[in-house]
């Protein structure tokens, strides 16, 4: 038995929508892209949505549209996928990392204020693994210090903070649709905002700088080829129509894991789920006991046919960030400890109880 780390949930609807695109002959910037954007706006009560070819592209455009420039500082988490940092580096913006809360794995909001300087222009809040940051504290600080807020909700579609969908609490929010995400377009992302100026510039930047009302091949900005294809949008539109179903299946799978972990007395801990938020289950993370040889655990699981991976290495200790900014081990100790102890186990909407039971028994043996 081989149980993969992740698996997209693809139905006949996705296949039919892709077939429609292929038969239409319009493979870019067509009705499926518009439909995907419109469904996103309707589902999450956003005024504007701009689909792009990746979450990274959408994060980059968010940075550009908010006017962040070289030398500006943006506060964010070191415990995330590297795109959260790269999108700042692209524009010469300095990432100012704030260590995380070991219980939630999100940025420790009690440490944000001391990181604010005269150069701080924004906070990039990462909703790690689908659990929202403490957005009331973040927005309070943003208002007090006149800071912009970008939400990296790439892992958090459907998550809420005090009843409000994440991605719409700040100035701009970004979601991503890689195959391991809750819903997928293969590769893809989307920027959501309630700001008209942000929307207009984002629409232009994704399309080589061509404004929405520009003439053919007339370009107002130095832009990028960040367009989402119609094939991607076709898959995304079908996935959005099935979003509630998919998220419910993932939640049920997560609750089964929690039950099995308790039943079999696994010596692991789980991230704390805050009462004020609704989580959207992206991956299922366990925190291993201190001094556990995680590589050995992964190797033992692999021999049993169970895929498992570390999530996430700390961004500041990636070679590129060490080289650029001189970060060293010990700079953000909580992030570093969690990076060494967290493990993602197989998790997807179609995982069965028997597969989950097999995973938990294999993990118990590996520990």
Q: Which residues are known to be catalytic?
A: 181
Collapsing DSSP to helix, strand or coil, 285 comes out as strand
Residues 66/148, Cβ–Cβ less than 8 Å? yes
Exposure string for 159-168, b = 16+ CB within 10 A, e = fewer = bbbeeebbbb
Q: How far does Cα 88 stand from its chain's mean position? A: 16
Cβ atoms 157, 182 nearer than 8 A:
yes
Q: In what order do the strands lie in the sheet with 164-165?
A: 164-165, 160-161, 277-278
* Residue carrying structure tokens 């067509």: 30
Whether residue 46 contacts residue 192, with contact meaning beta carbons closer than 8 Å, is answered with yes
CA 363 to chain centre: 26
Sheet containing 342-345: which strands, arranged edge to edge? Answer: 284-287, 342-345, 309-310
d(CA 23, CA 171): 38
- Find, among 124, 110, 131, 118, the residue nearest to 78 by Cα: 124
Q: What are phi and psi of 120, to 5 degrees?
A: -70, 125
Q: How many residues does the chain have?
A: 367
305 by DSSP, 3-state: which?
Answer: coil
- Cβ partners under 8 Å of residue 58, min gap 6: 50, 52, 174, 175, 176, 189, 190, 191, 226
Burial class, 43, CB count within 10 angstroms (exposed 0-12 / middle 13-18 / buried 19+): middle
Kindly state the helix (H) or strand (E) to which residue 259 belongs, with its residue range: helix 243-263
Report residue 294 CA to chain centroid gap: 24
């Amino acid at each position: 038995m081989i149980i993969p780390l992740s698996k997209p949930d693809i139905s006949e609807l996705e296949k039919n929508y892709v077939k429609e695109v292929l038969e239409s002959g319009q493979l870019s910037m067509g009705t499926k892209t518009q439909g995907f954007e419109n469904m996103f706006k309707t589902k999450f009560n956003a005024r504007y949505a701009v689909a792009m070819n990746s979450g990274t592209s959408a994060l980059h455009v968010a940075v550009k549209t908010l006017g962040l420039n070289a030398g500006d500082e943006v506060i964010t988490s070191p415990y995330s996928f590297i795109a959260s940092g790269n999108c700042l580096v692209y524009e010469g913006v300095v990432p100012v990392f704030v260590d995380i809360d070991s219980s939630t794995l999100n940025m420790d909001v009690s440490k944000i204020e001391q990181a604010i300087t005269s150069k701080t222009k924004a906070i990039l809040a990462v909703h790690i693994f689908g659990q929202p940051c403490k957005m009331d504290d973040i927005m309070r600080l943003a208002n007090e210090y006149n800071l912009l807020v970008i939400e990296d909700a790439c892992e958090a579609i459907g998550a809420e903070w005090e009843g409000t969908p994440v991605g719409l609490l700040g100035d701009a929010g970004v979601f991503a649709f890689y195959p391991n995400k809750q819903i997928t377009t293969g590769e893809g992302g989307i920027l959501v905002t309630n700001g008209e100026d942000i929307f207009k510039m984002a629409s232009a930047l994704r399309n080589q700088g061509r404004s929405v009302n520009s003439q053919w091949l007339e370009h107002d900005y130095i832009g990028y080829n960040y367009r989402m294809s119609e094939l991607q949008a076709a898959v995304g539109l079908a996935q959005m129509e099935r979003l509630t179903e998919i998220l419910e299946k993932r939640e049920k799978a997560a609750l089964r894991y929690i039950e099995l972990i308790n039943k079999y007395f696994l010596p692991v801990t789980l991230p704390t789920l805050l009462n004020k938020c609704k989580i959207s289950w992206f991956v299922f993370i366990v925190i291993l006991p201190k001094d556990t040889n995680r590589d050995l655990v992964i190797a033992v699981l692999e021999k049993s046919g169970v895929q498992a991976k570390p999530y996430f290495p700390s961004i500041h200790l990636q070679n590129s960030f060490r080289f650029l900014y001189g970060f060293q081990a010990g700079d953000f100790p909580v992030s570093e400890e969690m990076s060494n102890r967290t493990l993602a186990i197989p998790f997807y909407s179609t995982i069965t109880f028997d597969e989950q039971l097999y995973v938990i028994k294999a993990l118990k043996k590996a520990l």
